[in-house]
Amino acid sequence: MIEILLKNKKSFKAQRVSELTVSELDFHVMQFMDYTNSELSWLEENYGLDFTIMKHFEDIEISSHFLENENQAAFHFSIPYYNTERTMVEEPLFIIITEVGLFLFTSLNLDAYFNEKYPAKINSLQRIPDLQGIFKFQFEFVSDYFADITESLSRKVKLLANDILIEKEFSSNVMDIITRYNFNNLLIKESLLETTRVLRLYIKSNWEQKAELKESIRTELNDLTVISDYIEFNFDRLDDLRENVSNKIDLEQNHIFKMLTVVTVCISLPTLIAGVYGMNFETMPELKFAFGYPIVLIAMICSAILPFIYFKRKKWL
């Protein structure tokens, strides 16, 4: 799937590059979703794009996140988002800027998520008059996106904290929820650190001398720093919640052990009496008592009640 924003502010979609005529394309943005090798070859042949960054984006070297030459500047961002199963996953987003236009490369799933969450994005792009403004918009969008997804997770963490700390209630799978939120927060943190590093490298790049977006990028970096503080706060809050839940579970287990201890003591003493008089030795004088049976019953009842009263006064119950 290919989506193209022309310089006349009109946009259209194409299923394959064979539907496009290079000489008739006067565009600002060309976006490829679930791109194929044939499409990359077509771009390399017609626009001279270098896709080295897309071939090595999983490497840890910085060149797998930002790479420039005389003709282009290429960026790789790891974007965390919620898939259709509401599970947070990561997808790569590639941006290549040239003198001709801006090229975007995403998956269909990530593009569908963006379109659902930000339906006015294409309208915002259409209002931007030049390529430099569109280039700047991409950085602003990425920064705003991290703010939005961090804010969304922060709200979920706050609601969970309300259920655990204020309402004093939590479900049996609350530890799984905390672990999932912690993993999501970690994904956001890692992606944000990569994005921050890319933007800092871009400020020092030769391409920045052409675009002159240094002040705007610094503003976005300041915003990302604030977002990072919120992410760290989420980590701290989740750690506190995990500790709080663990303490409550320990208290509940201690209460259960106390109850089991009380029940065991209350049952064991009557059982001991019944065991003694169940031996049926001939030399047991108590067996000849006329009131032996009710006396033993009373002794068994008292041996069960007295420990109960004792533990009640000790506030075990």
Q: What is the pLDDT of residues 191-200, one digit of tens each?
A: 999 899 889 8
Would you state the pLDDT for residue 167? 64
| pTM of this structure | 0.76
Q: Where are the domains of the chain?
A: 1-117, 251-313
Kindly indicate whether the domain formed by 251-313 is annotated with CATH number 1.20.58.340: yes
Structural contact between residues 95 and 74, judged by C-beta atoms closer than 8 angstroms = yes
Pairing assessment for the beta strands 102-106 and 27-33 based on DSSP bridges: parallel
List the structure tokens of 9: 């502010």
Would you state the pLDDT for residue 183? 93
User: Using one digit for the tens of pLDDT, what is the confidence trace for 217-228?
Assistant: 888 889 999 999
* Tokens 């006015």 belong to residue: 120
Would you state the pLDDT for residue 171? 64
Residues 200, 182: Cα–Cα separation, whole Å? 27
Mapping DSSP to helix (H, G, I), strand (E, B) and coil, where does residue 74 land?
strand
Would you state the pLDDT for residue 122? 66
Residues 76, 195: Cα–Cα separation, whole Å? 8
User: Which residues of the chain are under the pLDDT cut of 50?
Assistant: none
Closest CA to 228 of 262, 189, 191: 189
Would you state the pLDDT for residue 146? 92
Would you state the pLDDT for residue 209? 78
* Tokens 């590093």 belong to residue: 197
CATH of 1-117, one of 3.30.460.20, 3.40.50.2000, 3.50.50.60, 1.10.10.10: 3.30.460.20
Would you state the pLDDT for residue 134? 86
Would you state the pLDDT for residue 187? 92
User: Using one digit for the tens of pLDDT, what is the confidence trace for 121-154?
Assistant: 767 777 888 888 888 888 888 889 999 999 999 9
